Amino acid sequence: MKRTIFLATVITSVLGLQGCITNSVIKSSPSEGQKAVFIDGRDVLISTKRNSVSIGPVANTLETSGRGEFIVAVKNGTRHDILFSTNNITAHTVENDQSRALKVFSHDELVKEEKERQVWAAIAAGISGAADSYSASSAGYSYSTPYSYGNNIYTPALSTPTYNYSAAEAARQEASARSETRFARLETEGRANLMSLSTVLKKQTIFPGETHGGIVVVELPEPSDQLKEIFFNVNVDGEIHEFKFTQKKI
């Protein structure tokens, strides 16, 4: 019972920064000796051997983005330290009677991915800013084409440019403001995204009697109207805990 309370505490604390998502439903399928519980409405499996492991989706409904977020918590029931990370977690599904591995993303991989996204977003923002600046540099110019009349024919003369400094300056200021807003938004979004990764499971030494947990991001099968199975193997100090969840499109 104490182990269940410890694991539930970790799950509840991590869930505080997570939101709700939709499109496919994830349900637990407990094996013999496992306990299926609901924590804050989330479907969670708990496996208790020498060590205890719990796993459950961040939300029972997940969006079809190709990935899902699960909370994994481990309680060290041994008398020695245990090193635990996403390297100790594997996942797979079965398609056409064959097993297919599902990628489990590490914290470092997700941080690298987010930073690369920010670089490309900044490049796109820079290109948009350059386009705005180019348009603004031409905003003060206007052209008029005078015509001369002779022999019952209107003949156009060379276009004469005129320059409106006030209009050009207003366009430059507007382009600069748009660019600053664009980059400020990217910076805010980038910080928020990196902050959200602070709950992702990281490599940790778990001391005897202590619990460690976090979010694990996993590749998911493409949801369909047919029930699909997702299997997890969690290796805690050589002790294997196997879990099964089902996924179905809603």
Tens place of pLDDT per residue across the chain (250 aa)? 544 444 545 445 444 444 444 488 899 999 988 999 998 888 999 999 999 999 999 888 877 668 889 999 999 999 999 999 999 999 999 988 889 999 999 988 888 887 887 777 777 777 777 776 767 666 666 666 555 555 555 555 555 667 667 776 777 777 777 666 766 676 777 667 666 667 889 999 999 999 999 999 999 988 888 889 999 999 999 999 999 999 988 8
Into how many domains does the chain fold? 2
Same domain for 97 and 126? no
Give residue 72's pLDDT: 94
Distance, in Å, from the CA atom of 152 to the CA atom of 174, rounded to the nearest integer, reads 47
In the beta sheet, which residues pair with residue 210?
Answer: none
Same domain for 154 and 183? yes
Same domain for 170 and 64? no
Same domain for 35 and 47? yes
- Could you identify the residue written with the tokens 């800013």? 129
- In 3D space, the residue among 10, 46, 75 whose CA is nearest the CA of residue 206 turns out to be 75
Same domain for 39 and 74? yes
Structure tokens at 134: 């180019």
- Which residues span the domain enclosing 132? 110-196
Same domain for 88 and 9? yes
- Give every CB contact of residue 202 below 8 A, 6+ residues apart in sequence: 85, 107, 214
Question: Which residue, 180, 196, 212, sits at the end of a domain?
Answer: 196
Same domain for 188 and 119? yes
Same domain for 99 and 7? yes
Same domain for 13 and 62? yes
What are the two backbone dihedrals, phi and then psi, of residue 120, each rounded to the nearest 5 degrees? -65, -35
Give me the sheet containing 42-48, strands edge to edge: 34-39, 42-48, 52-57, 67-75, 211-219, 104-105
Same domain for 237 and 160? no
Query: What type of residue sits at position 244?
Result: K
DSSP element (H, E) containing 105? strand 104-105
Any idea what the CATH number is for the domain that residue 239 is in?
A: 2.60.40
Give residue 80's pLDDT: 97
